[in-house]
Amino acid sequence: MLGRGLVPCCGHRVLPSLPASPGTQRPALRQGVPCPGPPVPSPCPVRSVAVEAKSRSCRHCVEMAAGLPARLGTGCAARGLRGRRLAHSGAAARLQQEYNAVVIGAGHNGLVAAAYLQRAGLRTAVLEKRHVLGGAAVTEEIVPGFKFSRASYLLSLLRPQIYSELELQRHGLRVLPRDPYSFTPLLEDRSPPRSLLLGHDMAQTQRQIAQFSQKDAQAYPEYEAFMGRLVAAIDPLLDTPPVDTAALGQGSLLQRLRSLRALQPLLRAGLALGRQLPRYYEVLTAPISKILDHWFESEPLKATLATDAVIGAMSSPHSPGSGYVLLHHVMGELEGRRGAWGYVAGGMGALSQAIARAAASWGAHIFTEKAVSRVLLGRDGQAQGVVLRDGTEVRSKVVLSNASPQITFLELTPQEQLPEDFTRRIRHLDTRSPVTKINVAVDRLPSFLAAPNARDGQPLPHHQCSIHLNCEGTHLLHQAYTEAAGGHPSSRPMIELCIPSALDPGLAPRGCHVVSLFTQYTPYELAGGQPWDEQARDAYADTVFDCIEAYAPGFKASVIGRDILTPPDLERVFGLPSGNIFHGGMSLDQLYFARPAPSYSGYRSPVPGLYLCGSGAHPGGGVMGAAGRNAARVALGDFKHLRQQR
């Protein structure tokens, strides 16, 4: 457990420096800024910098942790930190009074939308309220010297069209594929304990599964092929707006023709599945436990696969419809390999930066620290721009919102302009979230009982994986869910532990590592109305660390600092409603035709000229970019139609 030190008013904890061996040297933590702190021994050169960042940044205690006085000016450590938070250089452009298009929020979907709009010739501005681009796809240096993908942390779902059309590789995007990609160590009496390692080498994966079941090892390739056929059939639906059912039944002739054209991908998906359609329908609607029980008998394999079905969802493997969430997470691809996941070199913020550079290369203006307070409407009810929090008006022909449906329609849009049934639907969207994200700086790699570290301390193949803890069986996932459903953080939470610095050592000082802990289940509201205060955060984080310690003794002693983001923190920092990483549940009643509301699933809203381009629109959450691309194309078509009418 981390020791207690000075607690400044902001709530961060500055921990006392650890003793150092004589004769060691401490390198500078900042470019050109020497650190006056005491020397520390190898392997981690910043072991004495111990900031426990509690879900928000504070210039004062960051500087204190770096051993520099808080009153220092432009040369201080926090200024170096701010520069590393990757605010886009396009923010130096001067905000104009009028654009063709304004995008609210510089999350990855908003940046994608801006890039397509600007590329098509619309003068576009992006307005971001935070000091850093990317929304949840961001890199932040919460602990000095350690760069965290603070919210989203893996890449796979990004649509390949976006990757190529925006030339993201040319704009600096570099992806580090993972193979193997999944590691599940077990807690069991035998020595050493067993583990399950999954990768792209099917023969090797089958040998791993055969430790638990020969039958499952034989069934696994068929299961992969079965799911692959469903993914291939559904995949084209991600890149087109859903069918406008209202226009299909009651629209003009032109609207009906457009809707019929939009039906084609849906019909093709059905034809591709053919006679297997009833079986695939079951995958979409049944509990994932039922699907996995049909295919497999070994609990470690079923629990490992089930994590993709419940990740980010306040649901159990036994919840109906959990199969679709699994499908959502396996339908991505990475550099042509279906279902592959990887790390972004430089953290997830580097992806957002690449998209921003693409948009800026065509002339888009991108601004940080420009908070929008409301959508500006004309007398005819048409969106005409936005008003910033400081009162500045920015006029435009179209407005695209990357914010959640709740923020867009319940906070930024005048309520009198929206139908009552629409606002009721938005207000009652299921946004329950089980997620607490913990970012951890450590001075060495975790050494698991099931796979001890090498003597030289260098990363082994399993260190690059998603490491699944408390996944010995699906009953553990259900138990963790049940506790949270009753308002109590899980006593044995589901943990996905990732170490991106195993493949990207530049994220941390030499010998050190960044660890991402995606944990669930934690309720948004605690039982008895208890607040998610520092004590509650610490108690839950300590529970998580105790669990990791059981699998990897010595983990707690390796911790330098931690950043705890509970569901309310994720909402406050990133605008995720109730902390939901998808901007709303991915259940079937909130997908396709019904995302975010029936008759408004095609990115348009009840306000003409106002479009939803974030994860609250089809096809949903994940770092996919499809909502941004699709919404931009719809808005562009409407813009051209308006110009022709004039």
Helix (H/G/I), strand (E/B), else coil: 83: helix
8 has pLDDT over 70: no
Q: What would the mean pLDDT of 611-637 be, rounded to a whole number?
A: 96
DSSP string, 324-349: HHHHHHHS-EETTEET--EEETT-HH
Q: pLDDT category, 247, cuts 50, 70, 90?
A: low
* Mean pLDDT of the 534-562 span: 98
DSSP for 535-580, please give it.
HHHHHHHHHHHHHHHHHSTTHHHHEEEEEEE-HHHHHHHH--GGG-
pLDDT at 265 (0 to 100): 73
- Looking at the fold, whether 312 and 352 belong to one and the same domain comes out as no
Average pLDDT over every residue of 352-378: 97
Q: What is the pLDDT of residue 333?
A: 78
- Beta bridge partners, 366, equal 126
| pLDDT class of 216 with cuts at 50, 70, 90 | very high
Residues 94 and 144 in one domain: yes
In this structure, the answer to whether residues 596 and 641 fall within a common structural domain is: yes
Q: Any idea which residue has 């990133």 for tokens? A: 574
Q: What is the pLDDT of residues 67-96, one digit of tens each?
A: 322 322 322 233 333 333 333 434 467 999
- Looking at 320, 340, 360, the residue that finishes a domain is 340
Look at 365 and 52; give whichever has higher pLDDT.
365
pLDDT value of position 257: 62
Average pLDDT of the residues in 273-284: 83
In this predicted structure, what is the pLDDT of residue 251? Answer: 59
| Residue indicated by tokens 């050169």 | 45
Q: Note the pLDDT tens digit of each residue in 54-66.
A: 333 443 333 333 3
Helical axes 322-330 vs 288-295, angle rounded to 10°: 70
Going by pLDDT thresholds of 50, 70 and 90, the confidence category of residue 25 is: very low
Residue 213 has pLDDT above 80, yes or no: yes
Crossing angle for the helix pair 288-295 and 299-310, to the nearest 10 degrees: 150
- 279 and 311 part of one domain: yes
What is the pLDDT, as a whole number, of residue 17? Answer: 30
Q: Which pLDDT does position 250 carry in this prediction?
A: 62
Residue 493: inside a domain? no
Residue 18: pLDDT over 80: no
Q: Is the pLDDT of residue 556 over 90?
A: yes
> 374 and 601 in contact (C-beta within 8 Å)?
no
Instruction: Count the residues in the chain.
Output: 646
Q: For 155-177, what is each residue's pLDDT tens digit? A: 988 999 999 999 999 999 999 99
Q: 161 lies in a domain?
A: yes
Q: Which of the two residues, 504 and 12, has the higher pLDDT score?
A: 504
Q: Are residues 356 and 315 in the same domain?
A: no
Residue 79 lies in a domain: no
Strand 124-127 versus strand 365-367 pairing type? parallel
Q: Tell me what the pLDDT averaged over the chain comes to.
A: 85
DSSP code at position 134: B
Higher pLDDT, 562 or 268: 562
Written as six digits, the tokens of 396 are 């435009």
CATH code for position 157: 3.50.50.60
Report the C-alpha gap between 309 and 326 in whole angstroms.
4
The answer on 287 and 219 residing in a single domain is yes
Cβ proximity of 492 and 480 under 8 Å: yes
Give pLDDT tens digits for 413-468: 999 999 999 999 999 999 999 999 999 999 999 999 999 999 999 999 999 999 99
pLDDT at 214 over 90: yes
Q: Does residue 492 lie in a domain region?
A: no
Residue 645 confidence class, pLDDT cut points 50, 70, 90: low
Residues 167 and 101 placed together within one structural domain of the fold:
yes
CB 548 within 8 A of CB 448: no
| Domain's final residue, options 311, 340, 369 | 340
pLDDT score at 2? 32
398-401 and 13-14 strand pairing? unpaired
pLDDT at 201: 96
Section 212-224 average pLDDT: 98
Percentage above 70 pLDDT, the chain: 82
How would residue 243 be classed by pLDDT, with cut points 50, 70 and 90?
A: confident
Amino acid residing at 188: E
Q: How far, in Å, are 40, 456, 485 from residue 453 at the CA level?
A: 23, 8, 37
Residue 380: pLDDT over 70: yes
Domain boundary at 292, 309, 340, which? 340
Residue 231 lies in a domain: yes
Instruction: Write down the pTM of the prediction.
Output: 0.86
* Whether the predicted pLDDT of 567 surpasses 60: yes
- Shared domain for 330 and 393, answered yes or no, is no
**Residue with more model confidence, 248 or 505:** 505
276 & 309 share domain: yes
242-246, 403-407, 639-643: least confidently modelled range: 242-246
Min mean pLDDT across 483-487, 507-511, 594-598 is at: 594-598
442: CB partners within 8 A, 6+ apart: 512, 513, 514, 515, 555, 558, 559, 560
pLDDT band at 588; cut points 50, 70, 90: confident
Q: Are residues 296 and 229 in the same domain?
A: yes
Confidence of residue 332 (pLDDT cuts 50, 70, 90): confident
Q: What percent of the chain has pLDDT over 90?
A: 69
Alpha helix ranges (H) inside 144-251? 160-165, 202-210, 214-234, 245-250
By CB atoms closer than 10 A (0-12, 13-18, 19+), residue 173 is: buried
What are the pLDDT digits (tens) for 103-152? 999 999 999 999 999 999 999 999 999 999 999 999 999 999 999 999 99
Do 244 and 255 meet the contact criterion of CB atoms below 8 Å apart?
Answer: yes
Its domain, for residue 639, covers 89-174+344-430+575-645
Among candidate residues 327, 241, 315, the one with its CA nearest the CA of residue 284: 327
Q: Is 307 part of a structural domain of the chain?
A: yes
The pLDDT of 629-633, averaged and rounded, is 97
- Is there a domain that residue 291 lies in? yes
Q: Domain total for the chain?
A: 2
Nearest to 494 by CA among 523, 516, 517, 520: 520
Is position 44 within any domain?
no
pLDDT category of residue 245 using cuts at 50, 70 and 90? low
**Is residue 32 over pLDDT 90?**
no
Provide the β-strand partners of residue 610. Answer: 399
At residue 475, does pLDDT exceed 60?
A: yes
Work out the pLDDT band at 364, boundaries 50, 70, 90.
Answer: very high
Structure tokens of 571? 């909402």
Residue 183 has pLDDT above 80, yes or no: yes
337: β partners = 334
Instruction: Assess whether 234 and 248 both reside in one domain.
Output: yes
- For residues 365 and 300, membership in a common domain is answered with no
